[in-house]
């Protein structure tokens, strides 16, 4: 496979997106172009840089190699901004803080879990069991003096530029996007998942906090911010933000309504997982995705996770619709 083809084994560790901006590949679980970390060079200090997202703890060495591939020394890391505290985005934040003295920026609601990840890890252990540490690595806490908690509208000085925080709950209550003055908006999972290899946008709707009403408001806030381009953690750049953001909202709803219709048909959770898996594959096949791309998509947000997230959403956030569907 050609060097530079992001879907192949020769996928680059670091891809230059613009002047002073690289997309680093964590190659999580051997899967290229699935979980990304962005490197942004400081204005006026050529050797210094910041990261958006910390990646999983287990990917620390891969991220170090990717930083080197972009031409930087890991020791020159200054700040890590995490969009939310799920393990694929912030699992490695404590390690980066402790090794390089980097400060870590997070929405206020997520910051306490970075300072003390025990509750986060207990809930992850319920999902992954004993495989947690091997799969994701050991999540270290971020020392208090390196933790920076932000709120919606906060402006921070990052690498010589003013970066605005946009609170974007929906995927998680503590999710935030970061808007750089050049119009690039780092959106984490708030703009869904779109992997190289197809144009399909896949909803990212995990338990326990998926909230579609909050998500719609977040999408409206992102649209109001008029970003010039989006940078998705899964995975890469979207050059037409407005149609993409509108599409994410429609796609979230379509999948949520499909799940509620299956509930109304009397289907149990195991049946819904199978139907969602079938739906996701059919969308990818219809869009011409190859087998490797489909595998990477299913690894990013599997059907069991999505089913659990949406069932919980209907039960807890929209009990009137849930009762109407279940007749209870
Ligand atoms: Zn994610």
pLDDT single digits (tens) 60-106 = 999 999 999 999 999 999 999 999 999 999 999 999 999 999 999 99
Judged by phi (left if over 0) then psi (alpha if -120 to 50, else beta), residue 192 lies in left
Q: Please count the other Cβ atoms lying within 10 Å of the Cβ belonging to residue 16.
A: 13
Confidence of residue 9 (pLDDT cuts 50, 70, 90): low
Ligand 1 center from residue 58 Cα (angstroms): 15
Please give the C-alpha separations between residue 63 and each of 66, 134, 136, 295, in angstroms, as whole numbers: 5, 17, 14, 22
What is the C-alpha to C-alpha distance for residues 307 and 239, in angstroms, rounded to an integer?
A: 30
For β-strands 49-52 and 229-232, DSSP reports them as unpaired
CATH level 3 topology of 14-249:
Metallo-beta-lactamase; Chain A (3.60.15)
What is the C-alpha to C-alpha distance for residues 286 and 284, in angstroms, rounded to an integer?
A: 5
Ligand 1 center from residue 135 Cα (angstroms): 15
Instruction: Locate the domains of the chain by residue range.
Output: 14-249
Ligand 1 center from residue 53 Cα (angstroms): 10
Ligand 1 center from residue 95 Cα (angstroms): 19
Q: Please count the other Cβ atoms lying within 10 Å of the Cβ belonging to residue 223.
A: 14
pLDDT score of 1 more than 70 = no
Region 168-187: what's the mean pLDDT?
Answer: 98
pLDDT score of 24 more than 90 = yes
Confidence of residue 301 (pLDDT cuts 50, 70, 90): confident
Confidence of residue 3 (pLDDT cuts 50, 70, 90): very low
The per-residue pLDDT of the chain, averaged, comes to 94
What is the C-alpha to C-alpha distance for residues 73 and 58, in angstroms, rounded to an integer?
A: 19
Ligand 1 center from residue 181 Cα (angstroms): 24
pLDDT score of 8 more than 50 = no
pLDDT at res. 247: 97
Ligand 1 center from residue 13 Cα (angstroms): 19
103-107: strand order across its sheet: 14-18, 21-25, 36-41, 49-52, 77-81, 103-107, 147-150
Region 124-145: what's the mean pLDDT?
Answer: 93
Ligand 1 center from residue 324 Cα (angstroms): 32
pLDDT at res. 5: 40
Q: Pick from 60, 87, 37, 21: which is nearest to 234 by CA?
A: 37
pLDDT score of 160 more than 80 = yes
What is the C-alpha to C-alpha distance for residues 70 and 230, in angstroms, rounded to an integer?
A: 21
Write the CB contacts of 136 (distance below 8 Å, at least 6 apart in sequence).
Answer: 56, 57, 58, 87, 88, 91, 124, 128
Ligand 1 center from residue 65 Cα (angstroms): 21
The answer to whether 204 and 189 are in contact (CB under 8 A) is: yes
Top pLDDT among 3 and 186 is at 186
Please give the C-alpha separations between residue 217 and each of 156, 190, 229, 277, 279, in angstroms, as whole numbers: 23, 11, 19, 28, 26
pLDDT at res. 45: 83
* Model confidence pLDDT, tens digit, residues 126-136: 888 999 999 99
pLDDT score of 10 more than 80 = no
Question: Around ion ligand 1, which residues have CB less than 5 A away?
Answer: 88, 189
* Model confidence pLDDT, tens digit, residues 203-254: 999 999 999 999 999 999 999 999 999 999 999 999 999 999 999 999 999 9
pLDDT score of 302 more than 90 = no
* Model confidence pLDDT, tens digit, residues 255-295: 999 999 999 999 999 999 999 999 999 999 999 999 999 98
Ligand 1 center from residue 33 Cα (angstroms): 13
CB-side exposure of 128: number of CA atoms within 13 Å?
Answer: 15
- What is the share, in percent, of the chain residues with pLDDT greater than 90? 88
Ligand 1 center from residue 233 Cα (angstroms): 7
CB-side exposure of 319: number of CA atoms within 13 Å?
Answer: 2
pLDDT score of 4 more than 50 = no
Q: What are phi and psi of 49, to 5 degrees?
A: -155, 165
The answer to whether 244 and 238 are in contact (CB under 8 A) is: yes
- What is the share, in percent, of the chain residues with pLDDT greater than 70? 97
pLDDT at res. 289: 93
Ligand 1 center from residue 288 Cα (angstroms): 24
Ligand 1 center from residue 301 Cα (angstroms): 8
- Helix ranges (H only) for the chain are 60-69, 87-90, 93-100, 108-115, 118-128, 132-136, 212-224, 241-264, 269-286, 291-300, 303-317, 319-326
CB-side exposure of 257: number of CA atoms within 13 Å?
Answer: 6
Ligand 1 center from residue 290 Cα (angstroms): 22
Ligand 1 center from residue 323 Cα (angstroms): 31
Ligand 1 center from residue 261 Cα (angstroms): 26
* Model confidence pLDDT, tens digit, residues 28-44: 999 999 999 999 999 98
> Hey, which residues does 40 pair with through a beta bridge?
21, 50
């Amino acid at each position: 496979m050609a060097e530079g083809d992001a879907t192949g084994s020769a996928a680059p560790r670091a891809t230059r997106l613009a002047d002073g901006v690289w997309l680093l590949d964590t190659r999580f679980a051997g899967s290229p172009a699935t979980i990304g970390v962005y490197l942004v060079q400081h204005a006026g200090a050529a050797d210094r840089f910041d990261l958006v997202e910390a990646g999983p703890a287990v990917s620390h060495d891969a991220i170090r190699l990717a930083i080197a591939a972009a031409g930087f020394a890991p020791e020159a890391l200054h700040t890590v901004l995490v969009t939310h505290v799920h393990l694929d985005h912030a699992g490695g934040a404590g390690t980066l803080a402790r090794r390089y003295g980097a400060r870590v920026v997070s929405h206020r609601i997520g910051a306490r879990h970075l300072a003390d990840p025990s509750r986060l890890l207990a809930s992850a252990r319920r999902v992954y069991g004993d495989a947690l540490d091997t799969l994701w690595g050991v999540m270290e806490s971020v020392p208090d003096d390196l933790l920076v908690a932000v709120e919606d509208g906060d402006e921070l000085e990052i690498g010589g530029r003013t970066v605005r925080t946009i609170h974007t709950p929906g995927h998680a209550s503590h999710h935030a996007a970061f808007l750089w003055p050049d119009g690039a908006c780092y959106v984490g999972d708030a703009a869904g998942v779109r992997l190289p290899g197809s144009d399909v946008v896949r909803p990212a709707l995990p338990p326990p906090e998926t909230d579609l009403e909050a998500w719609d408001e977040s999408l409206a806030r992102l649209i109001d911010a008029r970003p010039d381009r989006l940078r998705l953690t899964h995975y890469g750049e979207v050059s037409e933000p407005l149609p993409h953001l509108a599409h994410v909202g429609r796609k979230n709803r379509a999948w949520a309504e499909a799940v509620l219709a299956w509930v109304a048909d009397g289907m149990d959770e195991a049946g819904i997982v199978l139907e969602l898996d079938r739906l996701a594959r059919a969308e990818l096949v219809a869009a011409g995705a190859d087998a490797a791309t489909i595998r990477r998509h299913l690894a990013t947000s599997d059907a069991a996770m999505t089913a659990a997230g949406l069932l919980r959403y209907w039960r807890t956030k929209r009990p009137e619709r849930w009762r109407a569907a279940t007749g209870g």
